[in-house]
Amino acid sequence: MRISLSELEQARRDPRAYVRQREGRGGGFFFKSGYATLQRAVFRFHQSKGNLEEAKKYLQESYERQFKHRQKLEGYIEQLERYTLEFANRGNRVFKVRDRLVIPVPEELANQVSVTGQIPRLDFVPSGGYNVWLFAKQPVDWRAELRLPLIQAAYSKKLTAGLNEVKVGVYDFSTATYTDYSFDEQEVTEANHELVDLLQQVTAISSRNTLGHI
């Protein structure tokens, strides 16, 4: 079983319902999303070394191919422009976009479940250290989410940096604001313990459901 980092809160709230929903999912469907198109335009902006016009062109052409009704396009273009402005104001240097992250899990669980996610952006910070950025389309109580300390700790190892050299945060497109967080060793340890407990619950529920269908 592979669990996305973005699904951890859903699993955390109700493991049984999460497993039930996973088992009821079909595969092979693609859902069009203006927000997803906006994110891809952001990646195009960074991959083109900050060419806003190229990113806007990509956003407009992609959106118009996908959607007949284009009333929201202007709003997405505005969000893209605000994003690039706030990015410039921060003064960081992007060194990777769309990075795949795998959260370490105990060996006894590794053959049953994995926790992975795509991280939108990794930055060098001028004063030293790294910023790891997630994207959001509306405000959420991010500090309370299980994934943030897990992501911070995973990148501390991946980048061979101290835990205090890595901050994990969120850019909210709806408010055009950045918020970053830093978790200490105790918070990371507690998050890892909770993750293991959650994965044990989810795999046990999934196994029982499988046996029940045999």
pLDDT at position 214: 45
pLDDT of residue 170 exceeding 60: yes
The stretch 123-147 carries a mean pLDDT of 95
pLDDT of residue 137 exceeding 60: yes
Tens-digit pLDDT profile for residues 182-202: 999 999 999 999 999 999 999
pLDDT at position 28: 44
Its pTM surpasses 0.95: no
| Residue spans per domain, the chain | 2-23+92-212
Residue 29: pLDDT band with limits 50, 70, 90: very low
Residue pair 72/107 in contact (Cβ under 8 Å)? The answer is: no
Residue 212: pLDDT band with limits 50, 70, 90: low
User: Pick from 159, 34, 140, 31: which is nearest to 95 by CA?
Assistant: 159
